[in-house]
Amino acid sequence: MSNGAGSGPSGIITRTYKAGSIIYFENDKSEYIYILKAGKVVLTSLKLDTGEETKEEVRQGEFFGVKSALGKYPREETAQTMGNTVVLVLTPADFERLVLKNANVVKKMLRVFSNQLRRIVKMERSVLGEGEIVNPDAELFKIAEYYYKAGVVQHAQYAYKRYMEYYPDGSNAALAMKRIRAIDAGEPAPPDIGVPDAGPMDMPARPASGGDDFSIDEPGGDSDMIDFDATSHQDEPGQGSADSTLALSDEMDDFLAEKNTPSMDDFSIDAAVAGDTPRDLNDAADASFAKGNFSTALDLYRKIISLNRVNGNDDKRLLEKAHFDAGRCLMEMGKPKEALEIFSKVLRNFSDSPYMKMAIYHIGLIFESVNQKEKAITYYNKVLNMSPKDRLNSEALNKIKLLQGK
Amino acid sequence: MTAMALDERFFEKFGVEYSPNEIIFCEWEPGNEFYFIQSGNVRIVKLIQNREKNLSVLTDGDVFGEMAILEEQPRSATAIATDHVKLLKFHRDNFDTLMSGNPALAYKLLVIFSKRIYDAKRRLMILLLEEPQLKVMDVLVMLAEQDPHLDLQNEIALQVTAKDVARWAGLSESDAQKELTHLSRTDKIELFGDKIVVKKIREFQRLVASRRKSMYQ
């Protein structure tokens, strides 16, 4: 395929084709990437599921042949010219140099690729029937049990804690809590610890939680973690929920005192090592948070809050972030009431903050976690209506759908 | 990816460190972040049939957890630090900003996504075949294609168990075993505990391709 080749100034080759020429065939192996400079190119491929032929026209200035070149796989389509055509031919190295100079090009491609990947993975799941039968709650618990049984207590502890973090109302919450304490006390796994030997395909069927949202909102089992009173099922007092400034203090009353909520902290505290600027503290806090040391992280975020620096934009943002993340720590630690207090501070004090929306979303999560569905929906609704529309809006929508579907 | 312009400030902002044997994330936990390895090694494992199986070991410059960018699905595997590991950890929500400022990282992801798209399509093609026999054959073909060191003209050995084959093919283990046994009886393959030897993989390739073609007609 060397018709009309000529080298451009950057070493990138320009190639001209007559109408009807094949630039490459499906299943060819080649590392070249093309840009359509002039003329017309049509890509023909077969649909995976139906075998149907699909044609796609490349627009001038667009790349083609990128995926197979970068992924080092055979071409998945045939590229044919539909008139006299000029293309630029790039090696992956040329391509890399070119796109590194233009972040928008990479971003745009990344968006296209991730959409494709998302679609295919979804299709794969539906063919496997996965989305419908997998129960991440039970699976996560099984991982924890596996490691405990295998004597890898560090990993077991991690998984149990994660379980408590995500499924405080889950059907295994009480047991997970018991295991966490047992591991803390240095107890080995009990001999009766049972991990049924079953792959996901053998799992008992359970209604899908929407596929992309796994906070199971079934009434909790015998969790000993969150012990809110039955008043949590009462309806919201009839006013105020439509207001965009949230009168959370009223709603706080709906939470009765938590009775001896056991702390599920990680007790390895070495918060003292951090520096003392908000930035230092924040980095140390984020690192602790990432490792699941929520109590340490909380201490550090609280330090930032007590410094109360609002001089530069950076400090201001860190202060807002510290509030929000302190709330997340408290949620992780099974202290929803305190978390709610701090999120409400974000709402009161930082109404123009980027953390505002996330704080509202998390308030929704808290209400959801204690089964106050109506209130949760109210907050998710607020998120839904906030601009800019981003992923959080769609997550809020998913939440609402799920909660209303029950 | 040493050329990545990830300066110190970047690490300050997104850096996290893990000690040897520490879990970074665990299979089935919700995932919202993806990671870039600055230094150290990360083992990716998965519980399969109640046994921990190593999927891969990643090192400097590798990215993992990237599916979190796309969707809020539980993690499909566990990531464990094997030594002292320095990572950059990025939340899905920061993705756009991050990509604007770091075309090198974006490029890296582009390459990874290209591979993932192909792999996922390839797996889907197996699942869409109708006959279990063909599915099993195509799993072997796929595995052979993935290893550039294999000479497909000759007998090849694939490091794979019946359980793996079952999983790729979307079959129950006993069904996959049945098909493998049949292939072994007809002398197309030889079964070992930890590997399968295929006599003529090209033959499987041709057979699957022609059946796939006729499937659509």
CB A368 within 8 A of CB A403: yes
The predicted pLDDT at position A255 comes to: 32
Calculate mean pLDDT across residues A128-154: 83
Cβ contacts of B17 on chain A, cutoff 8 Å: 287
DSSP 8-state assignment for residue B106 = H
Residues in a beta bridge with A87 = A15, A36
Q: B91 near B31, Cβ under 8 Å?
A: no
A102 to B97, B104, B106: CA distances (angstroms): 14, 10, 11
Partner residue facing A107 (CB), from B78, B106, B116: B106
Task: Check whether B7 has a pLDDT greater than 50.
Answer: yes
Backbone angles phi, psi at A353, to 5 degrees: -80, 150
Mutate to test the interface with B, among A76, A117, A197 (most CBs of B within 10 A): A117
Q: Which amino acid is at B208?
A: V
Q: Which tokens sit at A156?
A: 């077991």
Q: In the block, which residue shows the tokens 């499924």?
A: A167
Q: What average pLDDT does this structure show over B77-105? A: 87
Q: How far apart are CA A364 and CA B173, in angstroms?
A: 43
* Residue B78 contacts residue B33 (beta carbons within 8 Å): no
Residue A27 CB-half CA count within 13 A: 3
Burial class (CB in 10 A: 0-12, 13-18, 19+), A32: buried
Q: What per-residue confidence (pLDDT) applies to A145?
A: 93
ipTM of the complex: 0.80
Q: How many CB pairs under 8 A join A and B?
A: 173
C-beta atoms surrounding A122 within 10 Å: 17
Chain A, window 330-359: residues with a beta carbon less than 8 angstroms from a chain B beta carbon: none
Cα R_g (chain A), whole angstroms: 27
For residue A37, how many C-alpha atoms fall within 13 Å in the half-sphere facing its CB?
16
pLDDT in tens, B32-88: 899 999 999 999 998 876 778 787 889 998 889 988 887 777 898 999 999 999 999
- The owner of tokens 């395929």 is A1
- Range of weakest confidence among A15-19, A213-217, A381-385: A213-217
pLDDT band, very low/low/confident/very high, at B168 (cuts 50, 70, 90): confident
Pairing of the two strands B85-91 and B33-39 = antiparallel
Percent of chain B with pLDDT over 90: 45
DSSP three-state, residue B133: helix
Query: Band of the pLDDT at B107, cuts 50, 70, 90?
Result: confident
Structure tokens at A245: 């400034």
Tokens 């759908």 belong to residue: A401
SS3 for A239-268, per residue?
CCCCCCCCCHHHHHCCCCCCCCCCCCCCCC
Average pLDDT over residues A157-168: 93
Sheet containing strand B189-191, strands side by side: B156-158, B196-198, B189-191
Whether A108 contacts chain B with CB within 8 A: no
Tell me: pLDDT of A2 over 60.
no
- Give the least confident one: A104-113, A225-234, B4-13, B119-128: A225-234
Residue A136 has pLDDT above 90, yes or no: no
**Tokens standing for A162?**
């994660």
pLDDT value at A262 more than 50: no
Mean pLDDT of A127-132: 62
Does A107 contact B96 at a Cβ distance shorter than 8 Å?
A: yes
pLDDT attached to residue A265? 30
**What integer pLDDT is reported at residue A249 of this predicted model?**
38
CA distance readout (Å), B44 to A166, B79, B82: 22, 5, 10
pLDDT of residue A246 exceeding 70, the answer is no
User: What number is the average pLDDT over the span A241-259?
Assistant: 34
Sequence-ordered list of residues with C-beta below 8 angstroms from that of A45, at least 6 positions apart, any chain: A26, A53, A54, A56, A76, A77, A78
What confidence category does residue B21 fall into, taking pLDDT thresholds of 50, 70 and 90? very high
Q: Please check the confidence at residue B103 and state whether its pLDDT lies above 90.
A: no
pLDDT over 90 percentage in chain A: 25
Of A145, A18, A7, A28, which is closest to residue A77 (Cα–Cα)?
A28
DSSP β-bridge partners for residue B158: B196
pLDDT for position B61: 85
Put simply, the answer to whether A67 touches B22 (Cβ < 8 Å) is no
The answer, yes or no, to whether residue A358 has pLDDT greater than 70, is yes
pLDDT in tens, A290-332: 777 888 888 888 888 888 887 777 788 888 889 999 998 888 8
Distance CA A84, CA A38 (A): 8
For residue range B185-209, what is the model confidence (pLDDT) as tens digits?
999 999 998 899 999 999 999 999 9
Q: Which of A158-172, A268-282, B16-30, B188-202 has the weakest average pLDDT?
A: A268-282
Output the pLDDT for position B189. Answer: 95
User: Tokens at residue A57, please?
Assistant: 């026209």
**Residue whose C-alpha is closest to residue A98's, from A10, A221, A229:** A10
H/E element, A12: none
Q: Is pLDDT of A84 > 60? A: yes
Distant-in-sequence contacts of A339-343, Cβ < 8 A, 24+ apart: A339/A366, A340/A248, A340/A251, A340/A252, A340/A255, A340/A366, A341/A252, A343/A248
* Dihedral sign for Cα atoms in the order B116, B119, B125, B131: negative
C-beta contacts of A234-243 below 8 A and 24+ residues apart: A235/A374, A236/A374, A236/A375, A236/A378, A241/A378
Q: Test A212 with B12 for CB contact under 8 angstroms.
A: no
Q: Residue A130: which pLDDT band, with cuts at 50, 70 and 90?
A: low
Is the pLDDT assigned to residue A102 strictly greater than 90? no
- Give the pLDDT score at B6: 54
Looking at residues A264-289, what average pLDDT do you find?
60
Radius of gyration of chain B (CA): 20
Amino acid at A145: E
Q: Verify whether the Cβ–Cβ distance B118 to A101 is below 8 Å.
A: no
Q: Taking a C-beta distance cutoff of 8 angstroms, is the pair A18, A87 a contact? A: no
A-chain CB neighbours of B100 within 8 Å are 103-104, 107
Alpha carbon distance A56, A150 (integer Å): 53
Cα B163 to its chain centre, rounded Å, is 16
Q: What does the pLDDT read at residue A250?
A: 36
B112, closest residue in chain A (CA to CA)? A71
Residue B132, SS3 per DSSP = helix
Is residue A343 predicted with pLDDT exceeding 50? Answer: yes
- Specify the pLDDT at position A220: 31
Residues 6+ apart with CB under 8 A from A79: A22, A23, A24, A34, A41, A42, A43, A58, A64, A65
Mean pLDDT of chain A: 75
Give me the residues paired with residue A36 across strands.
A87
Report the alpha-carbon distance of residue A182 to residue B170 in Å, rounded.
Answer: 38
Chain mean position to CA B62: 14
The distance of Cα B153 from the centroid of its chain, to the nearest Å, equals 25
**Partner-chain contact B100 A195, CB within 8 Å:** no
Q: How far apart are CA B68 and CA B87, in angstroms?
A: 16
Point out the least confidently predicted range of A246-260, A267-281, A359-373.
Answer: A246-260
